[in-house]
Amino acid sequence: MSVKAVTSARLARVILFIAMLLVVTPLIFQLGISFKPPDQVFTNVLSPFTTTPTLENYAMVLRTVPIVQYLWNSLTFSAGVTLGQILLALPAAFAFSYYDFRFKNFLLALVLLSLLVPFVVTYIPNYLLLAQLRLVNTVPGLILPMLGVSLGFGIFLLRQHFVSFQKDILEAAMIDGASSWQILTRVVAPANRSAIAALAVYILINTWNQFIWPLLVGGGRVESYTLTVGVQMYFTNPEGGNVWGSIMAASVLTSLPTILMYLAMRKGILRTFTEGAVKG
């Protein structure tokens, strides 16, 4: 290996290490402060950990915040959006992969162009529509407009995997009399389970971390709070506004499900996105 290549590799490692520190450091402080007694939170601000850890902050959160209700709302919201987007992206990606129809390239370009439109610009029209349908402060109202968020990304990602699938197998299925829906559900989708699962985890995590939209649509009723909204409301509540250890504990409880899910499926997620980047 040349000197230039070694230098480039070392520089890349340094940059990645710095990036890792920027990402991990807030999480370490969040976790450490959540175990600090209230009187030690500001005693040594440079050290996130304490020699006398306690579960008092978590106990306070569980006593004062309806975590179970917020957790159920977040799970329903995230699972509904994930399932809906997968059901929409699968047939669309299948059609763009294996069928020729008028304006195919133009429609695919529109799908990719939709990625440039931030969801925030649709907040007002979506809210007005939900108000007319009387879906404000309801979980279905949270889910329906979110079905289009990053849907173009899901269609494109799955298409990149579908186009590499052996067409001989599809032709054999057609000769056996299989319909397009049967080919998708019994041949193509099972063969791309890892890609579909990785996309589902990505959508789930992205939806789970939403804050502004759940606050706008579901923030008017406590029963509709998601975890992210509930933690923010606890933060602004006089009972929790000055208890930073409990606030960090609530944040840990909010982040834990998605972190565990990512750690359990990180290899499949990384493999799916790297494969999708090179397949044409």
Start-end of CATH 1.10.3720.10 domains in the chain: 56-278
Tens digit of each residue's pLDDT (9 = 90 or more) over 4-46 = 777 888 888 999 999 999 988 988 999 999 998 888 888 777 8
17/120 Cα distance (integer angstroms): 33
pTM: 0.81
Report the mean per-residue pLDDT for the chain.
85
Render pLDDT for 129-156 as a digit per residue (tens, 0 to 9): 999 999 998 889 999 999 988 899 999 9
The pLDDT, as a whole number, for residue 207 is: 92
Tokens of 90: 């699968």
The 10 Å CB-count burial string (b at 16+, else e) for 150-179 is bbbbbbbbbbbbbeeeeeeebeebeeeebe
The pLDDT tens digits for 42-98 are 877 788 888 888 998 898 888 888 888 898 999 999 999 999 999 999 999 999 988
Rounded Cα–Cα distance for residues 201 and 211 (Å): 18
Q: What is the model's pLDDT at position 7?
A: 83
Percentage, residues of the chain above pLDDT 90:
24
185 vs 222 pLDDT, higher one: 185
Give CA–CA dist 77/69, Å, rounded.
Answer: 12
Structure tokens at 54: 């306690």
Q: What is the CATH number of domain 56-278?
A: 1.10.3720.10
136: tokens are 């404000």
pLDDT of residue 242: 61
